[in-house]
A and B are shown apart, each in its own frame.
Chain A
Amino acid sequence: MTPQDVPSYPTERTCPFSPPEELATYREHEPIRRMRYPDGHIGWLVTSHSLVRQLLSDPRFSARSEFKRAPVARPGVEPFFGVPALPGWVLDLDPPEHTRIRQQLTGKFTARRMRELRPRLDRIVADLLDGMERHGGPVDLVENFTMPLSSLTICELLGVPYSEREEFQRDSKVLFGLNSTADDASAAMDRLYELLRGVAKSGGQQDGLLRTLAEDGTLDAEEITGIGAMMLSGGHGSTSSAMALGTFALLAHPDQLAKFTADPDLVDNALEELLRYVTIFHFGVPRSPLEDLEFGGQFLKAGESITVALPSANRDPEWFKEAPDQLDIERNTSGHLAFGHGIHQCTGQNLVRMEMRAALPALFQRFPRLSLAIPAAEVRIYTDTSPVFGVYELPVTW
């Protein structure tokens, strides 16, 4: 096989809910195989649940940004790859630097603390639903519900004061806007960094994450600001997208939606199943071996890039034995990899769970006859513009 014959990472979907078909073929025949990167590098693609899980918990594989390459070319967008981690960006670090920062974070994200945020999330949800009701259908659920909810939840978490939330939301929208130019996005990021710097320094809400970290005194100001930016960057679009696609998936599967609304005891499991089914981080996560090594029957060289395909692992019939390509809100979802695995697993995962618990049941309670305002086939998805998979908009009515 010449380098030209090595396939690049597939992104095209025939159905919004089905990962690219090539991934399933690779998973079955070559769960670790060569993959071509946009810069010409020939690296690796890992697609099976067992290898993904094994790799993400193996300390011989590095998450340092110096080794990372974008698996999919995104013109005009330069991710922070190939350069040292920005201060506080713990997802780009290995132990012991990773441990030093992550240890400061985990105590702030305990299940108990996340539960304490629930009443505030309920209030945000109720306000947004009021707004939708006043407006009347059809409305875009992304613009009017999932995006602002995600943004305001991050404000609550980080402790962004009310007076600065409008600015925060406006700049977040530009930063993650699929039509924003690279210059606009970069200027928005600079303004958000400035705002977060202020929140960490003094202006933040009493129990906000950034102010609490600052009071602890272990991390320096730039690291704390960076943590805020990383949370925003990793959590904003992804959580919004998970809620929008989750709603879309339920609307597209009326039998599942009927069970979801009829039985409150099913909600928690249903949300895990939605997270598995839509696996938002559709480019997977990047890793590199720190040394030459053997893995999954292949010889990998130090520094080669590996793409760990989470969407494919989450549809692996070896792990999810019963019809993994079907949405089944009653299935055993344990071990799904929507939040990753190992030491870099999503810090905010329990906040996302809390947010979805607050949002989705309330949405269907408020609007029991919620439906798509356009045919499902006309809902526009984006496949290669963002490492977060999602819909441009989700027009709904009731």
Chain B
Amino acid sequence: MRVITNTDACVGCGLCAFTVPEVFDQEQEHGTVVLLDPEPPHELHQDVWEAARSCPGEAISVKDF
């Protein structure tokens, strides 16, 4: 799995950092997404998919390979 984030589209809601803190964090000043792990381990894939699907800014894309 490869995760890509688009900080321009991010609204800073923090849902991803709340759902999968191992993969997503937020930048301190504006809360914009910070990608900690672009290739997360298998056991987190389900949560990452959910974070991507729920993102209000549609700022997370995921490629499976």
Q: Which chain A residues have a beta carbon within 8 Å of chain B's beta carbons?
A: 57, 102-103, 106-112, 114, 332, 334-336, 339-343, 345-347, 349-350, 353
Contact = CB atoms under 8 A, between A and B. Distances in A.
Interface string B24-42: 0111111110000000000
B53 A110 contact: no
Contacts of A109: 12-14, 31
A110 B29 CA distance: 10
A335 B51 CA distance: 9
B15 interface: yes
A198 to B, nearest CB: 27
Contacts of B32: 106
B57 A342 contact: yes
Interface size band for B: 20 to 34
B11 interface: yes
Interface of B: 11-15, 17-18, 21, 25-32, 49-51, 53-54, 56-58
A107 B28 CA distance: 6
Given A103-B30, A111-B26, A335-B54, A349 B11 contact: no
Contacts of B30: 103, 106-107
A107 B13 contact: no
Q: Is the interface of B mostly helix, strand, loop or mixed?
A: loop
B1 to A, nearest CB: 16
25 contacts: A102-B12, A106-B13, A106-B30, A106-B32, A107-B30, A107-B31, A109-B12, A109-B13, A110-B12, A110-B26, A112-B17, A112-B25, A114-B18, A332-B50, A335-B53, A335-B54, A336-B54, A339-B56, A340-B56, A343-B56, A343-B57, A345-B11, A349-B14, A350-B15, A350-B18
A59 B17 CA distance: 25
Given A106-B11, A343-B11, 10 more contacts: A103-B12, A103-B30, A107-B28, A107-B29, A110-B14, A111-B14, A111-B18, A112-B25, A334-B49, A334-B50
Return the 7 tightest CB-CB contacts between A and B, nearest first: A106-B12, A106-B31, A111-B17, A111-B18, A345-B56, A334-B50, A110-B26
Nearest to B32: A106
A343 B57 CA distance: 7
